[in-house]
């Protein structure tokens, strides 16, 4: 629901929140989990401009989990209280503010389970075509949001470096695999979504209620070892090619904050099946979120943008992913993370991973300093950025998700 917290005229007494280019105006209010330097204890924060409001001290909200497990309407109440607090100065309120640059941002919450979807039909088609030129999409693609179970233990927060993994690689199709450092290391730009309330085992979340079970979204980089992936992925799907690291941004932008950017999912092309009733939604189920990938090699001072995609172009919506995931009675838990799948579009400029941009290395990416990239090299930094814009509303941002590639360890 749109309410007074979305009013584009609303301003904060925290001056940096009123700058037009901030990701965190008062209309956004994303949550983060942080530590004050020198303290062990983690706290819940709310970003406002370049500051973080300590919501643990100011509102006695002990953790992200505490807010995530509230009902949809209680969470909306908390948002209104925080918005009001940051709109109207009260004496001494600044004592709960810390510069974002002066705190340690942690993983937003303990993540019980992580599932990665494959919901962009452009991504699935581009990748499928490399392996099956005549038949890029498998027959189930248009009937269900395809996913695999990921690994929660290797989800890391933005800024943590990523070590190039070792794995089994087949470089000569006639010979045996070798155990070696990954040579075809890639990123995938995705939207992450956190579950709010879950469901008991044996029960499912009806599609009409699925959005009430979503807490908010973040940026997600599903680092991928393509050479390990192509050897291991049949018959059971990705395993070690994906579970060595997944980076997420520290900011969780709530579903309430996204409300002004809600839109209709793209119409299904003629001839595509309608979803089955348990995956059919009424109303607008997509969100207009622009996702950008920036790349900076060790030799470059400034990163360069390599793609820009639109989350609202996905074939499956977040609600459909949640409904499908629980449709067999699988229990979803508070704090579960789902990845949308690589967000790609129809043009080269909106392909969300190097595998697609370079057609598995055949068409290298030219960097401004003359270097080329087929896949990631040691020292490369990948920076994801996201933001939402809509006429009549304040622009909000998702912040950044960064990660630098470290060399593989010496032979283990």
Strand partners, 383: 294, 402
Our separate counts of H helices and E strands in the chain read: 8, 26
DSSP-assigned letters across all residues of 123-149: HHHHHHHHH-TT--S-TTTTTS--EEE
Q: How far is the CB of 381 from Mn ion (least distance, A)?
A: 19
Choice from 122, 188, 232, 380 touching Mn ion (CB under 5 A): 188
Q: How far is the CB of 10 from Mn ion (least distance, A)?
A: 36
- Is position 356 an interface residue for Mn ion (rule: CB under 5 A)? no
Region 211-240 residues binding Mn ion, contact defined as CB under 5 A:
222
Q: How far is the CB of 123 from Mn ion (least distance, A)?
A: 9
Q: How far is the CB of 255 from Mn ion (least distance, A)?
A: 22
Q: Which residue is nearest to Mn ion (CB)?
A: 222
Closest to Mn ion by CB, 146 or 388? 146
Strand partners, 168: 179
DSSP-assigned letters across all residues of 294-358: EEE-TT-SS-EEEEEEEGGG-SS-HHHHHHHHTTTSPPP-TT-EEE------SSGGG--SHHHHT
Region 80-139 residues binding Mn ion, contact defined as CB under 5 A:
116
| Both tokens assigned to 55 | 């919501």
The size of the interface with Mn ion (CB under 5 A), counted in residues, is 3
CA-based nearest residue to 406, from 194, 224, 161: 161
CA–CA separation, 196 and 256 (whole Å): 13
Q: Is 213 a catalytic site residue?
A: no
Closest to Mn ion by CB, 116 or 211? 116
Q: How far is the CB of 47 from Mn ion (least distance, A)?
A: 26
Closest to Mn ion by CB, 32 or 189? 189
Closest to Mn ion by CB, 222 or 356? 222
Among the options 65, 72, 88, 123, which is catalytic? 123
Which positions touch Mn ion (CB under 5 A)? 116, 188, 222
Query: Active-site residues: which are they?
Result: 123
């Amino acid at each position: 629901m749109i309410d007074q917290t979305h009013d584009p005229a609303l301003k904060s007494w925290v001056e940096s929140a009123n700058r037009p280019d901030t990701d965190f105006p008062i209309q956004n209010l994303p949550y983060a989990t942080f530590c004050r330097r020198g303290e062990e204890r983690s706290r819940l924060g709310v970003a406002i401009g370049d500051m973080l409001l300590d919501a643990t001290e100011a509102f006695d909200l002990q953790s992200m989990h505490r807010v995530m497990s509230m009902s949809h309407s209680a969470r909306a109440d908390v948002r209104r209280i925080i918005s009001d607090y940051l709109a109207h100065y009260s004496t001494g309120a600044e004592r709960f503010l810390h510069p974002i640059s002066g705190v340690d941002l942690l993983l937003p919450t303990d993540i019980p389970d992580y599932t990665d979807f494959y919901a962009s039909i452009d991504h699935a088609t581009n990748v499928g075509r490399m392996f099956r030129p005549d038949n890029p999409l498998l027959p189930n693609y248009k009937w269900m949001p395809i996913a695999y179970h990921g690994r929660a233990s290797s989800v890391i927060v933005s800024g943590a470096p990523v070590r190039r993994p070792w794995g089994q690689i087949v470089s000569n199709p006639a010979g045996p695999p070798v155990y070696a450092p990954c040579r075809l290391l890639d990123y995938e730009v995705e939207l992450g979504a956190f579950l709010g309330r879950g469901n008991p085992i044996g029960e499912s979340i009806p599609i009409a209620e699925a959005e009430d079970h979503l807490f908010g979204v973040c940026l997600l980089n599903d680092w991928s070892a393509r050479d390990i992936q192509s050897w291991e992925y049949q018959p059971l799907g990705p395993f070690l090619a994906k579970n060595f690291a997944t980076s997420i941004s520290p900011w969780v932008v709530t579903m309430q904050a996204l409300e002004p950017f809600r839109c209709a999912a793209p119409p299904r092309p003629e001839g595509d099946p309608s979803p089955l009733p348990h995956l059919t939604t009424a109303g607008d189920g997509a969100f207009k979120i622009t996702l950008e990938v920036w790349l900076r090699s060790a030799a470059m001072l400034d990163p360069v943008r390599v793609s820009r995609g639109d989350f609202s172009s996905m074939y499956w919506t977040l609600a459909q992913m949640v409904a499908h995931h629980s449709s067999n009675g699988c229990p979803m838990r508070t704090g579960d993370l789902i990845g949308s799948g690589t967000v790609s579009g129809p043009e080269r400029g909106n392909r969300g991973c190097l595998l697609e941009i370079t057609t598995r290395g055949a068409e290298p990416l030219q960097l401004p300093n003359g270097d080329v990239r087929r896949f990631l090299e040691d020292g490369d930094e990948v920076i994801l950025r996201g933001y939402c814009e809509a006429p009549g509303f304040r622009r909000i941002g998702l912040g950044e998700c960064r990660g630098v590639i470290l060399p593989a360890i010496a032979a283990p």
